[in-house]
Structure 1
Amino acid sequence: MKTGGAAILRRALVRNRVRLGIGTVLVCLHQVAETLVPIAIGVIVDRAVATGDTSALVVWLCALALLFVVLTTAWRFGARFLVLVMQNEGHRLRMEVAHRILDPRGVRTDLRAGELLSVSSTDADRSAFIADIVPRAASALTAAVGSAVALLLIDVPLGLAVLVGTPVILGLLRRAAPLITRRATDQQAAVARASGMATDLVSGLRPLRGIGAEDAASQRYRSASRDALDATLHTARSSAVFTGVSMTVSALLAVGIAGFAGWFALEGRITIGELITVVGLSQFFIEPLGVLAGLPGSLALTRASADRVALVLDAEPLLSAGSGLIPAGSELSLSGVSYRSLTALDLRVGSGELLGVVAYRPQDAEALAALLSGQVPPERYEGEVTVGGVRLSDADRGHARRTVLVEPHNGDLFSGTVVSNVTAGRPDAPEAEVQAALRASAAVDVIDAHPDGLDHEVTDRGASLSGGQRQRVALARALMRRSPVLVLHDPTTAVDAVTEHMIAGGIADSRHRDSAGSGQTTILLTSSPALLSVTERVVVLDEGTVVAEGTHAQLAADDAHYRRAVLR
C-alpha cells in the first residue's frame, strides 16, 4: 500500500498521540505561564508599587514565584515526553526502512547502498521531527493567542494588531514553503548520492588501486561532493533568507505594538503597569511569532525526508510473494534459461551431487550465480529454474533462501568477532560444528594467527583481515549453514595452492563424505583444478550455454581448450 511522505508524518502523529498529546499540553501550559509573567509584573506595578501596598507586593511576588514553578515544571516534563516520542518514532522508522530493505523479496528501487543508508538513518530521524514541529506550533499559537487576548483587554487596537497581523505574516511566509521543500529534497538527494559513491569507493578501494584508477574515482567523488555542497549551500541560503525575513517582520510588528503602547500611555489611555505589560508582551511575542514564521521551513525539511523514506517503504518488491510451495529435495534444474549472457541454458544437478562449473567467460558464471541466488525477478529471464521440483519463483521466499545459498565471490563480513561471523544465522551452533567448518575452510590458521582466536575483532567488511582470511571465514560461514543447495563462486582465489587443496578436500568431506552431509548438493563455479578435482562431474559453459561435460580428468585429457583454461 502506498503511503507517501504526508501519510508517514500523519501516521507518526497518530501512533504517538497519547505521549504527544500530554507533551503538547504541558508545553502549551508553559507558554501560558510565560505569557502571564509580563502581565503579573504589570499588575504588581499598578496594585503594589504604585499604591505602596506592602502586603499586596508580598502576595503578588509569591504568585509570580508560583508562576515560575509552573513554567519550569511544565517545560521540563513536556520536553521529556516530546523527546521520548521523537526518539521512539525515529527508531520505528529506521526499523521499518531496514526491514523493507532486508525483505527476502528484495526492493525495487534505483537508490544505491549509500543512499539507502542515508534514508534509513538521517531521513528517518528527520521525519520524526514532526513530533517536535506540531507541539512547537501549538505552543507558539497558544502564546500568540494569549498575548492577543491580554492586549485586547488592555486596549482593543493593540489586540487587533496582533490578531490581524499574525495570520497575514504567516500566510505570506507560507508561500515560500514549496520552494524550500524542493530545494531541501534536491539537497538530500545530492548528499545521499555522494554518500553512496563514498560507500562504493571504500568497498572497492583495493581493486581501484590494483588497476590504477584512484585518480578517476577521486575525481568522480569530488564532482559528486561538489554537487552536494552546492545544493546544501543553495538550500541554506534560501532558509537563511526565509528566516531573516520572518524574524525581521516579527520584530517590526512587536516594535510597532510597543511604540503605540508608549503613545497611549502618554495620552493616559493605559496605566504605567499596563505599559510595562505591553512592552513585556511585545518582546515575548517575538519568539512565538518567529517560531510560527519558521515552521513552514522546518516542515518543508521534514516533509522532504519523509518523502525519501516513502521512496523505500512504497517501493514494490523485487520478487513476487510466490505460491508458498516448499522444495521437497535438493535437486536443481535449469531449462531453456536465458539471462544476461546465458542463452537457452539447460542444466541438471542431482540431489547430493558435487558439481563443478567452468565458465570460459566470467560473465556467464556471474549470471548463473545471480540467477541461482533467487534475487532475479522471473520477468527478467526466460526459461525455468526449479529446486526440489518447485519453480524458484513459486517457492516460499524464506524457505527458498534457506534451501539455496549462493556465496558470492566477494563475500562481506560484518563487524564483530570471527566466531560471530562464522555462526551468523546459527548463533547457537555447537562448538563441534564450528570447529568442523573452520577445518573444512582451512580457517583454523586465521584463528591461530591472532591471540584472541575466535574472539578476534573483525571490523566492518572484514577490513582487519587479509583477503585470504576474509575468504576463508566467509566460506566457513557458508558451510555452517548446511544449506541443501550450496553455490560457491570462486571461493579460493585469494589463497595459496596448498591451502586451496585443503579447502577442496574440506568441502567434499563436510558436504558429501560425512553422514551429516548426505543429500546436500554443491555447485562450484570455478576454474581451480584443485576444486574441480574433487567434483563428481564438470560442466563447461561458453557463449552462455553448455559446450562440454565430463569428469575433470576426462576433460583435462581430451579437451585442449579446457586444459588451457583450467590447468596451471
Structure 2
Amino acid sequence: MRELTGGRLLRRSLARHRGRLLGGAVLVCGHQVAEALVPVMIGVIIDRAVGTGDLPALVWWVLALCALFGALTVCWRVGTRHLVVAEQREAHQLRVEVVERVLDPRGHRTGMRAGEVLQVATSDAERSAEVVHGVSLGAAALVALAVSATALLTVDVPLGLTVVVGVPVLVAGLQLLSPLLTRRSTAAQESAGETTALATDLVRGVRALRGIGAQDNAAETYRASSRGTLRASLRAATTNGVYLGITTAASGLFLAVVAGFAGWIALAGRITVGELVAVVGLAQFVAEPVRLLGTAGQLLARARASAARLARVLTAPAVLSPGTRTEVLAAGVALRGVGYRTLDGLDLELGPGETVGVVAYDQRDSDALLELLAGAVPATDHTGRVEVGGVPVGELDLDTVRAAVLVEQHDVALFEGTLRDNLLAGAERPPEAVTAAVAAAAADDILAAHPDGLDRSVTDRGTTLSGGQRQRIGLARALAADPSVLVLYEPTTAVDTVTEERIAEGIARVRAHASTLLVTASPALLAVADRVLVLDGGRVTASGTHADLAQSDPRYRAAVLR
C-alpha cells in the first residue's frame, strides 16, 4: 500500500464522497449553465419579441426566462446542500481519524506537541475538507466558461475565439500564484499550531508558573509566539488579497476588452442589437466564473497545505511494536539488566502479592523506571529485559500489558463529569469495591462534604477540587481498578501527615492480595512496604526494610525522614 501523502489524502476525500460530490457538482454546473443562458435568452427576447413587436412571443419568452431563473435557483440550493454535507462529513471523518491515531495505545512519532495536534484535528481537518468545495467550484466555473464561449462563437467566431483563447491564458496566469498561496497557508497553519501548543502548555502549568513567579516570562514568550503567528497570518492574508485583487482586475479588464470588441462589430452591422446585449451580458457574466476559479484556487491551495499536515499525523510511525501473546504466566514484574536513559544495568523484581518501595536519589531514575513499567518504551530503545508475569513485554499484546500493570502518575488527570465517572473510568465495578477504594485513599470526606456524593460534578482536570482532593481521587481510581500490578508514583505529596498515614494503611489493606510498587520518599508509605530498594546511579545500591535502611544508611535517612 502506498504511503499516504497530502495529495493522496485529498484524492481519497473526493473518492469517498463521490456520490454527493458528483450530484452536487452536476447541479452547481447546471446553475452556472443557467446563469450563462440568462443574457443569451434576454438577447433572443429583444430580437424575436421586442424588436418585432410580437406580444404573445414576448409573454412566452418571459415565462421561459422565469423558468430558467427557477431552475438555476433550485440547482444552486440543492447542489450546494449536497456539497456542504459532503464537506462537513469529510471534515468529521478526518477529525475522527486524527483522534484515533493520537489515541492509538502504541503511541506516535509526529514530532508535534499536543496543541499542534489539536490544531491539525480541528482547523486542518476543516480546511482539507474544503477540497470538495474547491473542486466543485472549479468544475462549475469551467463549464460556465465553456457555455459562454460556445454562445459567443455562435454569435461571432472572432469574438468567441477571443474568449476561448483569453480565458485559459488568464486562468494559467492566475495559477502561477498557487504555490505561493500554499506555502503561505502552510506557514500560517504551522505557526498557529505552535502557538496553540504553547498556550496549552501554559494553561496546564499556570499554577506552577505562578508558584515560581515565572508568569511574566511565560506571558512574554506567548506574546512573542502570538506575534509570529500574526505575522504569518497577515502574510497569508496579504497573498490571498493580492490574488483576489489580481483576479478581479484581470476579469474586469477582460470584460472591457470583450464588450468593446462586441460594440465595434455591432456598429459594423455584423451582429444585431439583441446579440450585442447577449454578448455584453455574457462578457459581464464571464467575470463570475473567473472569480470562482480564483476562489477554487485559494481553497485548493489551503487544502493542500492542511492535507500535508494531516498526512504527517496519520502516517506517523508507531512508538511501540507490541507482540500478540494475551496471557501471562504469573503476577509481578521484573527488570533484568535494564539500561535506559540514566538506568544502568538495573535489576528489580516485584513478586506476586508483594509491596515494594523504591527510593531514587535522582528523579531521572524514577522517570525512566515509570516509562519502562508503563510499557511506553520500545524494546529497541533499552537494553536488558522487562518482563510482566515472566513474559518479555515485547511479546505481549498491549491490552494485556495495560491490564496487568497500571502506572498511576504523579500528575493526576481528571476529566469533566462526576466523581463516579472519574472513579469508574468507563468500567463496570462493584459498588463495594469503589467504596473500599475511596476509603483506602482517604477520599471519603470528599464525598461526604457534598450533597451529591459520587454524583458531584467535576470540571476538566478537576479544577474545582484542591490539589490534595485531586490526588486522592486519582489514587482511589487506581485502587478501584485492582490491577495485578499497581505502580504508584508519589501519591501523597499533596496531603497532610495524618491523611498520609491513613492512605498508607489503606493501600496495605486493599492491596494485600496483589503486587504494588511504591516509587516514593514518603516514610509512611515506605513503612508498609515488604522491602525497599534504593536507586543510585541508575541501579539498585541497597535493599531492606524501611526501618533497617533508616537506621543503617545516613543518606537514605536524610532522603526520607521528615
TM-score, normalised with respect to structure 2:
0.97
Name the residue aligned to 2:432: 432
- 1:100 counterpart letter in structure 2: R
Secondary structure of the residue aligned to 1:274 is: helix
- Between stretches 467-476 and 432-441, larger displacement belongs to 432-441
User: How far is 1:467 from its partner?
Assistant: 1.0
| 1:17-36 pair list within 5 angstroms | 17-36=18-37
Is 2:335 aligned against 1:341?
no
Quick check: 1:326–1:400 contact (8 Å CA) kept in 2?
no
Aligned match of 1:544 in 533, 538, 554? 538
Contact 2:331-2:485 at 8 Å conserved across structures:
yes
Whole-Å separation in 1 of the counterparts to 2:327 and 2:252? 70
State which drifts further: 216-225 or 128-137: 216-225
Are the equivalent residues in 1 in contact too, given 2:489–2:520 (CA < 8 A)?
yes
Q: Secondary structure at the match of 1:51?
A: coil
Q: Structure 1 counterpart of 2:123, which letter?
A: T
Can you list the C-alpha shifts for 1:365-399, whole angstroms capped at 9, x where unaligned?
Answer: 11111111111122222111100111112211122
Output the amino acid matched with 1:504: A
Question: Quick check: 1:481 aligned with 2:475?
Answer: no
Aligned twin of 2:104: 103
Distance (whole Å) between structure 2 residues aligned to residue 45 and residue 176 of structure 1? 42
Q: Is the 8 A contact 2:533 2:540 kept in 1?
A: yes
Q: What is the distance in 2 between the residues matched to 1:434 and 1:58?
A: 82
Distance 2:453 2:267 in 1: 86
Partner of 2:315 in structure 1? 314
- Structure 1 counterpart of 2:282: 281
Aligned-partner residue type, residue 144 of structure 2:
A
AA aligned opposite 1:420: D
Question: Contact 1:345–1:544 (CA<8 Å) still a contact in 2?
Answer: yes
The aligned runs of 1:124-203 (5 Å cut-off) are 124-203=125-204
Alignment match, 1:219: 220
Alpha carbons 1:169, 1:293 under 8 Å: kept? no
- Deviation at 1:165? 1.0
Aligned partner of 2:551 among 549, 552, 557? 557
Correspondence list, 1:264-279, <5 A: 264-279=265-280
Per-residue CA distance 1:194-248 (angstroms, 9 max, x = gap)? 1111110110111111111112222221221111111111111122112211221
Equivalences for residues 129-528 of structure 1 within 5 A? 129-426=130-427, 428-512=428-512, 518=513, 520-528=514-522
**Superposed displacement of residue 279, structure 1:** 1.8
Q: Which residue of 1 aligns with 2:89?
A: 88
User: 1:452/1:37 Cα in 2 relative to 1: closer, same or farther (>3 Å)?
Assistant: farther
| 2:338 counterpart SS class | strand
Q: Offset at 1:546?
A: 0.8
C-alpha displacement of 1:464:
2.0
- 2:421 alignment partner AA: S
What is the one-letter code of the residue matched to 2:474? A
Instruction: Verify the 8 A CA contact 2:485 2:515 in the aligned structure 1.
Output: yes
**Aligned amino acid, residue 493 of structure 2:** T
1:4 aligns with 2:5: yes
Report the secondary structure of 1:161's partner residue.
helix
Q: In structure 1, what residue type is equivalent to 2:416?
A: S
Question: Which region of structure 1 is more displaced relative to structure 2, 354-363 or 300-309?
Answer: 354-363
Say how many residue pairs are matched: 561
**SS of equivalent to 1:385:** strand
Residue 407 of structure 1 deviates from its aligned partner by: 1.0
Higher alpha-carbon deviation: 123-132 or 212-221: 212-221
Contact 2:386 2:393 in 1 (8 A): yes
SS in structure 2 at match of 1:493: coil
Question: What letter matches 2:454 in structure 1?
Answer: L
Q: Residue type of the partner of 1:524?
A: L
Give CA deviations for 1:96-132 in whole Å, capped at 9, x if unaligned.
1111111111001210111111111111111111111
For 2:463, the aligned partner's letter is A
- Counterpart residue type for residue 43 of structure 2: G
Q: Distance in 2 between matches of 1:435 and 1:325?
A: 30
**Is the 1:405–1:487 contact (alpha carbons within 8 Å) kept by the matching residues of 2?**
yes
What's the secondary structure of 2:464's corresponding residue?
Answer: coil
Q: What is the letter of the counterpart of residue 63 of structure 1?
A: A
One-letter amino acid of the counterpart of residue 52, structure 1: G
Task: State the 1:8 CA deviation.
Answer: 0.5
1:14-61: CA deviation from partner (whole Å, max 9, x where unpaired): 111111111111111111111111112222222222222121111111
Task: Quote the offset at 1:93 in angstroms.
Answer: 0.7
- TM-score when normalising by structure 1: 0.96
Q: What are the Cα deviations for residues 147-171 of structure 1, in whole angstroms up to 9, with x where unaligned?
A: 1111111111221111111111111
Unmatched tracts of structure 2, length 5 or more: none
Distance 2:453 2:170 in 1: 67
- CA distance in 1 between partners of 2:49 and 2:505 (Å): 98
Structure 1, gaps ≥5 residues long: 513-517
Instruction: Kindly provide the amino acid, as one letter, of the partner of residue 254 in structure 2.
Output: L
CA distance in 2, matches of 1:372, 1:311: 29
Q: Distance in 1 between matches of 2:57 and 2:360?
A: 97
Distance 1:138 1:324 in 2: 53
Deviates more, 1:344-353 or 1:554-563: 554-563
Query: Per-residue displacement from partner, 1:299-329 (whole Å, max 9, x unpaired)?
Result: 1111000000011111111111324453232
**Range 274-283 or range 455-464, more displaced:** 455-464
* Segment drifting more, 349-358 vs 439-448: 439-448
Query: Which residue does the alignment assign to 1:76?
Result: 77
Change in 2 beyond 3 A, CA 1:354/1:34: same
In 2, the alpha carbon distance for the partners of 1:323 and 1:104 equals 14
Partners of 2:67 and 2:55 lie apart in 1 by 18
Contact persistence 1:147–1:281 (CA under 8 A): yes
Where does residue 515 of structure 1 map in the other structure? none
